[in-house]
Structure 1
Amino acid sequence: MSNWIWGQRLDAIQRELCDPRASARSVSEIAFAWGFNDAAHFSRAFKNRFGCSPRDMRARALPLQPG
């Protein structure tokens, strides 16, 4: 059951990282808001689930706009 809960949280974080409305929030801030309290543990769990780092996921979803 706890694995399912953590999976749901990771999925929610992934959606938020890819949402332009959340682009001002840091990766750590988003992770902590969803119940993670250790940035390194979060990064490992995220990479294990999605195959890339949270920063890479965000960079692909929200490329920098010129100007």
Structure 2
Amino acid sequence: MDNYARLKQVWIAVIYLLLLAIIIPWYWPEEDVRQFYGFPIWALLSLSGLFLTSCFTAWVCLGREVTKE
């Protein structure tokens, strides 16, 4: 595996870890009751992170170059 392919794999893993940090709201305080249009802000951020994860996964899967042998 060349360095470019290895760097690409590391880059994808780092993005997934950042998205995971957004999706799981362990850093929100329990007493935080702020809302936006009736939804807790932590839930909206988590749902936004899930959407971004789905888009990133689709981009990674559909953006691969297919090699013909």
Q: TM-score, normalised by structure 1?
A: 0.34
> Which structure: larger Rg?
2
Structure having the higher helix fraction is 1
TM-score by length of 2: 0.33
Between Structure 1 and Structure 2, the one with more strand by share is 2
